[in-house]
Amino acid sequence: MLDAASYFYAVLAVAMIGVRPVTGHIYDTYGAKYVIIPSFIFFVIGLFLLGNAENAALLLTSAAFIGVGYGTLTTSFQSLCIQATSPQRTGYATATYFTLFDAGIAIGSYVLGIVAVSVDYSAIYVLSAVLMIVMLVLYLLLFVRQKNKIEA
């Protein structure tokens, strides 16, 4: 499995790049929730697989799922931020998005690093999957529900 670990990020990158044309078309044609909800699910599946990977195939499969989920969520949320503002403020929206995105990665890495001292990495990946489920629920409650009220 150690040999396959060197291919993890290559598979992740190919999945991230490969899925974007398809998900971009779905996003533009049907709307954000038709991309974001499945992407959360892919990301969660990938994290659960990574947390339970006991062979190379499972490790690389988890990389593909995480790549699809992560790659699509980041671009979809950036698009939502830009669409939520006027064209004159697109730069501010993009800067705010990436500032908070980077802060989330920094804070999350720090907190999960502290937790990792007490548990193994498998537990960290499963915990991350659970946190992604919480984020999906929040997205459904706060954004999709709100948007449905506006359209009704």
CATH number for the domain including 58? 1.20.1250.20
Q: What is the 3-state secondary structure (H, E, C) of the chain?
A: CHHHHCCHHHHHHHHHHHHHHHHHHHHHHHCCHHHHHHHHHHHHHHHHHHHCCCCHHHHHHHHHHHHHHHHHHHHHHHHHHHHCCCHHHHHHHHHHHHHHHHHHHHHHHHHHHHHHCCCCHHHHHHHHHHHHHHHHHHHHHHHHHHHHHHHC
Say whether pLDDT at 143 is over 90. Answer: no
| pLDDT (tens digit per residue) in 89-116 | 999 999 999 999 999 999 999 999 999 9
Q: Which domain holds residue 105?
A: 2-151
| pLDDT (tens digit per residue) in 42-52 | 999 999 999 99
Number of domains in the chain: 1
